[in-house]
């Protein structure tokens, strides 16, 4: 009995020192890095604007069309000449915060239409003022940050 107990004790002591390989731990590290909107870099792709619209529980296209008609415009394309928007292509990045997002229930119709016009000129990745304005559920419910990529080649 004593022999068995002694062997068990020996094993308990030794297993920490001889468990088949060097003891190690898992390290974890978070990596966050961006070339977009980072003003500390030489590669400067400044953020131009954030766009996004908060809708009530209704079809976004119907809501926007109602506001558009209420302001006296027949088509989203009519907004081009009325509202000043970025004149060249920009890179878009998804945006998940609420700051800078307009709410159709609270904000001025003109601000809502400006966001709708810009969103209508965006895909998920790019803002392109030369493309036709497309209002769809997908385009109007996006929240995007737009960056000027010209400085990428600094």
Partner 1 sequence: MKASQPSRLARLGVYGFDAVEPVVLAALVTEDPLLLIGPSGTGKTYLLNSLSEALGLAHRHYNASLISFDDLVGFPYPEPDGDGVRFLETPATVWGAESVLIDEISRCKPEHQNRLFSLVHERRVQGIPLPKLRWRWAAMNPCSADQSGTQDYIGSEPLDPALADRFALFVTAPDWDELTEDERRSVVDPAGEGMVADDGGALRREIDAWRAAFEAKLASCPEPVWRYAMAATSALNAGKVRISPRRARLLARSLLAATIVAGRTKERLFRRVLEASLPHPCWGEHPAKEAIAAAHRAAWDSAAGSSDAWVHAFITEGRLDRKLKLLLDYAATPDAGSQAIAQCLAAETKERAAAFAFAIYPAAALGKLPIGAEGINDLAKVASPILSVDGEVSWQERLGAAGTPHPDFARIAKALVKLEGGRRERAEQFFCWCVLEGIHPARPDELEEQVQACVELIQARGLA
What is the contact surface with partner 1 in residues (CB under 8 A)? 22-36, 41-43, 45, 88-91, 93, 123-126, 128, 130-131, 149-150, 152-154
Based on CB atoms, which residue is closest to partner 1, 12 or 32? 32
Measured from the Cβ of residue 108, the count of other Cβ atoms closer than 10 Å reads: 9
**Residue 28 in tokens:** 């974890």
CA dihedral 138, 139, 140, 146 (to 10 degrees): 130
CB of 43 to partner 1, least distance (A): 5
Q: At a CB cut-off of 8 Å and minimum separation 6, what does 121 contact?
A: 85, 127, 128, 129, 131, 133
CB of 36 to partner 1, least distance (A): 5
CB of 18 to partner 1, least distance (A): 14
Based on CB atoms, which residue is closest to partner 1, 14 or 125? 125
CB of 81 to partner 1, least distance (A): 21
Which CA distances in Å does 66 have to 50, 95, 104, 108, 114?
23, 26, 11, 14, 15
């Amino acid at each position: 009995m004593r022999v068995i107990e002694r062997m068990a004790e020996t094993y308990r002591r030794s297993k920490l020192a001889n468990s088949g390989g060097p003891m190690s731990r898992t390290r974890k590290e978070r990596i966050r890095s961006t070339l977009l909107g980072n003003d500390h870099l030489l590669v400067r792709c400044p953020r131009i604007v954030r766009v996004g619209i908060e809708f009530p529980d209704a079809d976004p296209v119907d809501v926007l069309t109602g506001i558009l008609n209420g302001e006296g415009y027949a088509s989203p394309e009519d907004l081009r000449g009325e509202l000043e928007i970025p004149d060249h292509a920009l890179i878009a990045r998804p945006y998940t915060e609420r700051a800078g997002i307009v709410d159709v229930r609270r904000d001025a119709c003109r601000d809502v239409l400006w966001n709708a016009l810009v969103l209508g000129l965006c895909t998920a990745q790019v803002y392109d003022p030369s493309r036709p304005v497309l209002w769809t559920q997908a385009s109007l419910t996006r929240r995007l940050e737009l960056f000027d990529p010209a400085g990428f080649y600094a």
